Amino acid sequence: MFKIDPTRLDVAREFKARPFGEHSPELQYVLNYMRSRPVPQFEVLVMTDPGKRWVLAYMPTGGASVPKMTNQTFDKLEDAEWHVFKLRWKDITGQDLPID
Amino acid sequence: MTRIMGYADRISVQPGGTLAVMASCIGAQRYRADIVRLLSPNAGMGASEYREVQVDTPANGSYPAREQKMHAGSFAVVPEKWALKGIESFTLQAYVWPTTPKKGAQALMGMWSEAGTGFGLAVDATGAAEIRIGGFKLASGVPMLERRWYLVAASFDATSGQVRLWQEPIYDKSFHAERPVAVEGKTRASVPDDGAPFLFACWRKGEAEASTAWGRLLTGGHFNGRIDRPRLARKALDRAAIQALAAGMLPSGLEEEILGFWDFSKDVAGDRITDLSPNRLDGDVVNVPTRAVTGHNWTGAEMDWTKDPAQYGAIHFHDDDLSDAKWQPDFSFTVPAGAPSGFYAAKLVAEEASFYVPFFVRPKRGTAKAKIAFLASTATYTVYANNRGRFLSMRTELYQGRISMMDAVDILQLEFPEMGVSTYDRHTDGSGVSTSSRLRPVTNWKPHGRLWNYCCDLFIIDWLEHTGLGYDVITDHDLHVEGQDLLRPYSVVITGSHPEYWSLEMLDALDGYQRQGGRHMYMGGNGFYWRIAYHPTNPNIIEVRRSEDGVRAWDARVGEYYHQFTGEYGGLWRRQGRAPQVATGVGFISQGFDASSYYRRTEASRDPRVAFMFEGISDEILGNFGVLQGGAAGLEIDCVDPALGTPPHALVVARSENHSNTYILVAEEINIGHGALDAVQNAAIHADLTFFETPNGGAVFSTGSIAYAGSLPVDGFDNNIAKLTTNVLRRFVDDRPFTLPK
């Protein structure tokens, strides 16, 4: 089974540069892994201003309650994707991504 | 916490007509209501400025807030009747198929109430069958298993106080080690004559002050699962008599004992249950449980419930079914005589909370003057109503390629789960949701929030407004009822960004319109895909059986592919000889939600037949911009397929390219899975901008992409997508006939 290689910073850089659209096979594997692993809660974006502002929140898997809101807001969806990518990278590999 | 929500009693109303608005508001003393006409979506960057116009009406104003509750959970009920009075001894029995036996105590059938009166069969907290008589309970002691058929029966002899209970698994060719269980007990409890209704799949909790799902009855203990051949006798029967009573026909020799002998295979389409006994303890089903489902005796030899109803004698009840919130009206709105046709809503605001109650104003029947009609996809909007599955699991990201999005109105569904679910969800017992109603607060018909369906269709309305060409708005619901006559006055019918769900009546009406020279602009993707059935007497309720194939949120159980409302075979129109390519030239090929792409003009676009389309356009790349993920070709996309009905003379004038890995070939295109199913590797995945002429001077233009609508408003409609689409519209309203090529 595929596992994320924490030394492959090139894959992370690729995602940062282009979170939406065509990805390399290696990046797609990383994203599929991140998105399919069993987790008790997962990230969602709550839209507070249509098309302009989103708040990072957590939903319990299975959704028995409302999302738990954080103080983290975004005005670009790309920024939200990168933020969450870094959180997941750390969660899975145990290592911070040394990329801003 | 202030919350407000509501719904209207009607979806389509004409000038002079009146609709009622039901609202529930908590956390505030009063709320404000305004009737508004919606002219564009609130979509943020790249889109037009949000526009809603207040309608001058006495309905606008401040209203006292009150909470109105929703009572989810389907059940069947026999109203209080003479034959149900004076019961002392009894036998209760049914075949049951529990789907959540461990969720907590649940009612199967009877007259038991939480006040500790009456009698009834139940499932106890462990999942075991149980008989209740007043405060007395006797359970089998053996939990039933999920999705297994059992004969459950109980008898009570009032003279001796003897209680017997049987729980017997039905042979189903599987290798279970279960054994029949029979237990006995004694009680001095009696069955009081309290004039209660006889209930299936719930028990009586009390009486409400306001309307509930049935009268003012408050229910509890909602059962998840199936009940088949329920019976009630006025005597404690022995096991042999119980077996005789379990037959499909009324047994001889028990005429005096039988009180109720229900046959759930009757009246499957409607809201009634039938008692075959002389007492005729007929009743109602409430909140539309699922019918036309396999019963305890289904052999697998028959797949069509209409051919052998006796094998489909079960009703599947769910504790989250909701077909009508049954709220009291707060106010009404009479459409002014001169009101233009369009998208409208009652905008409800209480402090920081707001909610849009949508409806559509259509032209008065027989008086349409506009040449253009926009057909609002109300069937599709209804089928999607209250879709919550998309944000209950991270797996949504796997096919969307982006973090799941929610808004404040979405969150209402989690705060008020009794709001019911959509046909994109599963019930709490894991079974697929096959019916949806709009007679409840619906969260996905709004001009803001996640851009999908209703909201995206407002991009098209915005563009129509910009063209200055007059238009009417009509709805799927109108089309289903009125058929082709609804379309006949119009030169052009525009279908929306995602007109996915079609009844036979709707499809036939469109087909007839097109064959008689009507022009059709299909402005979306994944249209004309699923067959639906409307409830026979309540057009606010729609059914979809996700059978066989297709991109599905759930799959219908084998043997349950035929709609309960009509008996029609469900599933993809493509599987029924009417693929979308027949009517529009294109059909669903892929979906992806991370990024949208663009179209590139083809050689066919130089054909003189489509010269009108490209007047003033010199670009080779079309729609490399847009509010919906950055391009005109995306989200759900369609392409031509001659084998499925694309006319040979159809012209693909532009084809999309460069879609991402997230775009995967649709399931119905895959016979054997392989590793080259995404758009990066699979050349079959693209959207086709398509045109073809039809008989009697008609024509069809199809965009084959949901995202297309989101490109129209970019740069104030000064872009090649808006230009091209306007060129098409202007030509389509021109009475000069199109000519079928020789």
CA B721, CA B726: separation in Å to the nearest integer? Answer: 8
Alpha-carbon dihedral angle through residues B447, B451, B456, B459, given to the nearest 10 degrees: 70
CB B509 within 8 A of CB B484: yes
Q: Which CATH architecture has domain B75-317?
A: Sandwich (2.60)
pLDDT in tens, B556-608: 999 999 999 999 999 999 999 999 999 999 999 999 999 999 999 999 999 99
CA B24, CA B31: separation in Å to the nearest integer? Answer: 10
Q: Which residue of B has its CA nearest to A53?
A: B44
CA B269, CA B263: separation in Å to the nearest integer? Answer: 14
pLDDT in tens, A7-60: 999 999 999 999 999 999 999 999 999 999 999 999 999 999 888 899 999 999
In this complex, the residue of B394, B415, B448 whose CB is nearest that of residue A42 is B394
∠B396-B402-B403 over CA atoms, to 5°? 75
> Residues 32 to 91 of A: which have CB under 8 A from any B CB?
32, 35-36, 39, 42-52, 54, 57, 59, 61-63, 65-67, 77, 80-81, 84
In this complex, the residue of B45, B660, B680 whose CB is nearest that of residue A51 is B45
Is B193 a residue whose pLDDT tops 70?
no
In chain A, the number of structural domains is 1
Residue B301 CB coordination number (10 Å): 8
Q: Which of B474, B446, B464, B486 is nearest to B360 (CA)?
A: B474
Is B9 a residue whose pLDDT tops 80?
yes
Strand partners, B633: B597
Helix (H) or strand (E) holding A28: helix A25-36
pLDDT in tens, B329-371: 999 999 999 999 999 999 999 999 999 999 999 999 889 999 9
Q: Which residue of A has its CA nearest to B412?
A: A66
CA B52, CA B145: separation in Å to the nearest integer? Answer: 54
For residue B589, the SS3 value is strand
**Which chain A residues are Cβ-neighbours of B660 within 8 angstroms?**
20-23
Please tell me the distance in Å from A76's CA to the nearest CA on chain B: 11
Residue span of the structural domain in which A14 resides: 9-93
b/e per residue B313-347 (b: at least 16 CB within 10 A): bbbbbbbbbbbbbbbeebbebebeeebbbbbbbbb
Please tell me the distance in Å from A93's CA to the nearest CA on chain B: 19
Confidence of residue B530 (pLDDT cuts 50, 70, 90): very high
CA distances from B220 to A61, A67, B72, B133, B319 (A): 27, 28, 10, 17, 9
DSSP strands (E only) in B559-674? 571-572, 586-601, 621-622, 633-640, 651-657, 664-665
pLDDT in tens, B133-163: 999 999 999 999 999 999 999 999 999 999 9
CB B110 within 8 A of CB B203: yes
| Residue A67 maps to a domain | yes
**Which chain A residues are Cβ-neighbours of B448 within 8 angstroms?**
50
User: B3-69+325-360: what CATH class?
Assistant: mainly beta
∠B547-B549-B551 over CA atoms, to 5°? 105
Cβ distance B406 to A36 less than 8 Å, yes or no, reads: no
Residue B114 is encoded by which pair of tokens?
């939480």
| Residue A100 maps to a domain | no
**What are the extents of the domains in chain B?**
3-69+325-360, 75-317, 363-733
Please tell me the distance in Å from A7's CA to the nearest CA on chain B: 23
Strand partners, B534: B542
CA distances from B639 to B12, B496, B691 (A): 32, 17, 12
Size of interface A-B (CB pairs under 8 A): 104
| Residue A82 maps to a domain | yes
Cβ distance B395 to A36 less than 8 Å, yes or no, reads: yes
Is B734 a residue whose pLDDT tops 80?
yes
Please tell me the distance in Å from A98's CA to the nearest CA on chain B: 22
- Specify the length of chain B in residues: 742
Please tell me the distance in Å from B689's CA to the nearest CA on chain A: 21
| Residue A98 maps to a domain | no
Checking A67-73 for CB contacts under 8 A at 24+ apart, the result is A67/B391, A67/B406, A67/B411, A67/B414, A68/A41, A73/A48
Phi, psi at B233, each rounded to 5°: -125, 155
Q: Between helices B720-733 and B454-467, what is the axis angle to 10°?
A: 70
| Residue A14 maps to a domain | yes
pLDDT in tens, B481-507: 999 999 999 999 999 999 999 999 999
CA B544, CA B541: separation in Å to the nearest integer? Answer: 10
DSSP strands (E only) in B523-630? 530-531, 533-534, 541-543, 571-572, 586-601, 621-622
| Residue A25 maps to a domain | yes
Q: Which residue of A has its CA nearest to B398?
A: A35
For residue B482, the SS3 value is helix
**Which chain A residues are Cβ-neighbours of B395 within 8 angstroms?**
35-36
**Which chain B residues are Cβ-neighbours of A63 within 8 angstroms?**
388, 391-393, 414
| Residue A85 maps to a domain | yes
| Residue A75 maps to a domain | yes
Residue B569 touches chain A, beta carbons under 8 Å: no
In this complex, the residue of A21, A47, A77 whose CB is nearest that of residue B449 is A47
CB B34 within 8 A of CB B60: yes
Cβ distance B449 to A44 less than 8 Å, yes or no, reads: no
Residue B586 is encoded by which pair of tokens?
């294109």
**Which chain A residues are Cβ-neighbours of B394 within 8 angstroms?**
35-36, 39, 42-43, 61
Is this complex's ipTM strictly greater than 0.95?
A: yes
CA B701, CA B513: separation in Å to the nearest integer? Answer: 15
